[in-house]
């Protein structure tokens, strides 16, 4: 895709305002976040399968005993298993992050075991006597074989469970009922015009709502009307009266690569080979369609006066850097973030705290979907002086619909 095509799509889909949805937006409809999903997995024995024994620690004195790269890989594997710090990973992204960095799913068992053993003898202060080390390693290796097999199977199962958890279809009425209420309030930000929505979520809530026609708008998600649906970015150039432009920056649990290289949407099913950015902490959009989707996001932000971000921690480096670049530009821009502070996992707040230092950022530490929060967002949007008078007038009409006027008693 050329830069000219990306700019054409951005002009067609862009406008004065866009919405960015993180996992917190779907959580309002009852879906798990990366943190709550892992809690559920822990209940099924995931941590137990990772437990190799007592915690291991490393310091500057024993790092020098082995090469830096081997130590880093082994330490990362132990830390991710909850052994380096004595604490388990806090969410699903941390689990997949260490899987990706350690290569534990792709490296040979002997390579992994050798790295773990090198790390182990450094920590326990074993001598480098070959005979002694060999005998100990044989015993250790036998025990580790079973753990590695269990671990790799568990990761495969965990990935499949993730796909199934985020697959929402038109039969899941409880979730769709909550989602409809939540997303209708989001669409109030786009009165009498098309909506522009970006998301890093893998779930299919919008697709399910579109399938049941509950939102009363046409979904433009890059797949067009052909059957079976195949992805083509040119579909974002479609007519957009009363439509929702929907960009899934990280892919979807229903996307699949066909042998011809095209991406097909298997909604409402999970295909064998799912097309999405792996849920690691630092995601790198280095191939189509993700490179194109991120470029479109950046171009649309340039035309926006406001972006309302719901339930997103900005831990994704690429998204955060694009947003920081927009905040630092000379053109008027306001970022409104709706997300509660995570008291249990304060490290998830660090990027929100950093962004909120900018005078262009308003952080509402609350959940989207609650009436008072939705009204507060509409009010803050109306207060942005750079918005057109036409847009403000339409937004104020939406705001008045939410206000209950109590008549004065006589």
> Is position 278 within any domain?
yes
CA gap 242, 1 in Å, rounded: 27
**Helix 109-124 and helix 68-80, axial crossing angle in degrees, nearest 10:** 90
Same domain (yes/no): 160, 233: no
**In this structure, what token pair is assigned to residue 134?**
């060999």
Residue 68's domain comprises 36-165
The label of the residue with tokens 């697959």 reads 167
Cβ neighbours of 165 (radius 10 Å): 17
CA gap 344, 356 in Å, rounded: 20
Which of 165, 186, 204 lies at the terminal end of a domain, its last residue? 165
Which of 165, 191, 211 lies at the terminal end of a domain, its last residue? 165
> Is position 409 within any domain?
no
Strand intervals (E) in 243-346 = 243-248, 251-257, 263-265, 274-276, 306-310, 334-338
Alpha helices in 253-404 (DSSP H): 290-303, 317-328, 350-355, 371-382, 389-402
Cβ neighbours of 382 (radius 10 Å): 15
Same domain (yes/no): 147, 81: yes
> Is position 59 within any domain?
yes
Query: How many domains in the chain?
Result: 2
Same domain (yes/no): 159, 205: no
Same domain (yes/no): 173, 161: no
Same domain (yes/no): 58, 18: no
Cβ neighbours of 27 (radius 10 Å): 19
> Could you read off the pLDDT tens digit of each residue along the chain, which spans 410 residues?
789 999 999 999 989 999 999 998 998 888 888 777 766 655 554 444 443 333 333 333 333 333 333 434 444 454 444 444 445 455 778 777 766 766 656 656 666 666 555 545 544 544 445 555 556 666 666 656 665 665 667 677 778 888 988 999 989 998 999 888 888 888 889 988 899 999 999 999 989 998 888 888 889 999 987 778 899 998 999 877 789 999 999 999 999 988 888 899 999 999 988 989 888 877 888 888 999 999 999 999 999 999 999 999 998 889 999 999 999 999 999 999 999 988 877 777 889 999 999 999 999 998 887 767 778 888 888 888 888 888 888 888 877 775 544 344 44
Which of 138, 165, 192 lies at the terminal end of a domain, its last residue? 165
3-class DSSP state of 32: coil
> Is position 304 within any domain?
yes
Q: Is the peptide bond before 228 cis (omega within 30 degrees of 0)?
A: yes
Same domain (yes/no): 212, 328: yes
Nearest residue to 33 (alpha-carbon basis) of 256, 200, 250: 200
> Is position 212 within any domain?
yes
> Is position 410 within any domain?
no
> Is position 407 within any domain?
no
Same domain (yes/no): 153, 174: no
**What is the model's pTM?**
0.81
Same domain (yes/no): 184, 318: yes
SS percent in the chain: helix, strand, coil, step 5 = 50, 10, 40
């Amino acid at each position: 895709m050329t830069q000219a095509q990306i700019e054409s799509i951005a002009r067609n889909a862009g406008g004065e305002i866009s919405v960015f949805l993180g996992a917190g937006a779907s959580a309002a409809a009852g879906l798990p976040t990366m943190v709550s999903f892992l809690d559920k997995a822990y209940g099924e024995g995931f941590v137990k399968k990772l437990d190799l024994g007592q915690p291991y620690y490393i310091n500057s004195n024993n790092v020098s005993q082995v090469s830096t790269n081997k130590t880093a890989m082994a330490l990362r594997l132990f830390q991710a298993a909850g052994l380096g710090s004595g604490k388990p990973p806090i969410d699903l992204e941390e689990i997949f992050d260490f899987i990706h960095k350690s290569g534990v799913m792709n490296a040979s068992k002997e390579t992994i075991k050798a790295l773990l053993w090198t790390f182990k003898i450094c920590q326990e202060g074993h001598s480098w006597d070959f005979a002694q080390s060999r005998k100990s390693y044989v015993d250790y290796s036998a025990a580790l074989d079973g753990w590695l097999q269990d671990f790799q199977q568990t990761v495969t199962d965990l990935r499949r469970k993730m796909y199934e958890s985020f697959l929402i279809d038109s039969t899941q009425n409880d979730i769709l009922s909550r989602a409809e209420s939540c997303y209708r309030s989001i669409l109030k930000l786009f009165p009498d015009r098309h909506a522009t929505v970006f998301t890093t979520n893998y779930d299919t809530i919008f697709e399910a709502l579109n399938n049941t026609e509950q939102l009363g708008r046409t979904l433009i998600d890059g797949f067009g009307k052909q059957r079976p649906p195949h992805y083509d970015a040119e579909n974002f150039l479609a007519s957009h009266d009363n439509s929702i432009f929907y960009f899934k920056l990280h892919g979807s649990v229903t996307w699949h690569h066909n042998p011809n290289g095209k991406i097909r949407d298997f909604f409402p099913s999970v295909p064998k080979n799912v097309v999405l950015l792996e849920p690691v902490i630092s995601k790198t959009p280095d191939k189509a369609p993700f490179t194109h989707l991120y470029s479109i996001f950046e171009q649309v932000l340039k035309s926006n006066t406001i972006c309302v971000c719901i339930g997103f921690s900005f831990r994704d480096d690429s998204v955060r850097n694009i947003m920081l670049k927009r905040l630092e530009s000379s053109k008027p821009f306001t970022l409104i973030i709706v997300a509660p502070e995570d008291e249990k996992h304060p490290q998830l707040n660090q990027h929100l705290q950093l962004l909120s230092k900018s005078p262009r950022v308003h952080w509402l530490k609350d959940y989207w979907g609650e009436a008072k929060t939705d009204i507060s967002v509409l009010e803050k949007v109306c207060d942005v002086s750079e918005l057109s008078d036409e847009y403000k007038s339409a937004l104020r009409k939406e705001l008045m619909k939410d206000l209950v006027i109590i008549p004065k008693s006589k």
